[in-house]
Amino acid sequence: MLKKTIVVGLLTAFGILAVMPVFPQPKKRVAVFSFEDKTDKSWHWWDGRGPGDGMADMLTTALVKTGKYSVIERKQINQILQEQQLGQTGTVTQQSAAQTGKMLGVELAVIGAVTEFGYSKKELGGLLKSKGFGLGVGSQKATVAVDVRLVNTTTGEIITSENIRKEESAKGLSVQTPDVGFRSETDFDNSLVGKATRAAVEGVMELIAQNLGAMPWEGKIITVSGTTVYFKPGSDGGVKVGDVYTVYTKGQALIDPDTGLSLGSEEQKVGTIEVTGFAAEGKASKAVVKSGTGMKTGDAVKQN
């Protein structure tokens, strides 16, 4: 009888778990900066952009399509870089990416450089790196490589740094190597270098997924009016009405005297808030104070 009761209890518990709704978590926020172009700069996209801008845009689009991340628009990134004069040299550094990322309220900044982008061609037993068109029995190989660094915007530290290199090859009676760029996006997607580029982008996405999952989600208070609190992100960042968050105020920043990078700061819990709605077309959340006092602009909003 006891064994039967235990079995029934377990089945009931599993049944309850099976019908329990799965609530989506707030989306982690990512900023993809333009990649530096370290190639020979003879290649360009169908719209005139170089490999650095093109690959960064492809990565941004691919991240958005997953629906798992809140990705900052490139114009917002460039606007802050210009306003703060953080990209005067044309190269985004670890420090400038972290500073810009903090202003944008993202957890992760993606920076890097395209180091290889193009074709090599082999005909009649001889290796020939060429532009133009080649005929005859031979093979063609496209190589795309990018050095990627993922920066934690809170600490300014590089979480990981990887070189992702992808190759695509083909053999046939006629091997063609386009001179410069492509006539259209379709031409690019169907080309060997286009396929190698997309494979490299997928490699970067895997790197982001592996590292971003371990980073804690964090929002930030925009303003406080009485018991009403506005914070970012909003519904576009996966926040839902009824969500309850804990608010922390940050103390003095701990700065590494050798590198000048932030090591974080002491935090003190000041209370909790509950989301009641959204503002600014879903870019901000509206909440009511459930407990605590002294919340202010800039305080951190974290999951319980």
Q: How far apart are CA 257 and CA 254, in angstroms?
A: 9
Residue 24 near residue 238 (C-beta atoms within 8 A): yes
247 and 99 co-located in one domain: no
Q: How far apart are CA 143 and CA 52, in angstroms?
A: 15
Residue 205: count of CB within 10 angstroms of its CB: 17
Question: pLDDT digits over 176-234, tens only?
Answer: 555 546 667 888 888 888 999 999 999 999 999 999 888 888 899 999 999 999 999 99
231 and 289 co-located in one domain: yes
Chain center to CA of 218: 15
3-class SS string, 239-284: CCCCCEEEEEEEEEEEECCCCCCEEEEEEEEEEEEEEEEEECCCCE
Question: pLDDT digits over 128-179, tens only?
Answer: 444 444 445 567 889 999 999 999 988 888 999 999 999 999 876 555 555 5
56 and 198 co-located in one domain: yes
153 and 269 co-located in one domain: no
Beta strands in 8-107 (DSSP E): 28-32, 36-37, 69-71
Q: What's the predicted TM-score (pTM) here?
A: 0.76
Q: How far is CA 224 from CA 74, 91, 248, in A?
A: 29, 37, 14
87 and 154 co-located in one domain: yes
What is the number of structural domains in the chain?
Answer: 2
In a domain, 225, yes or no: yes
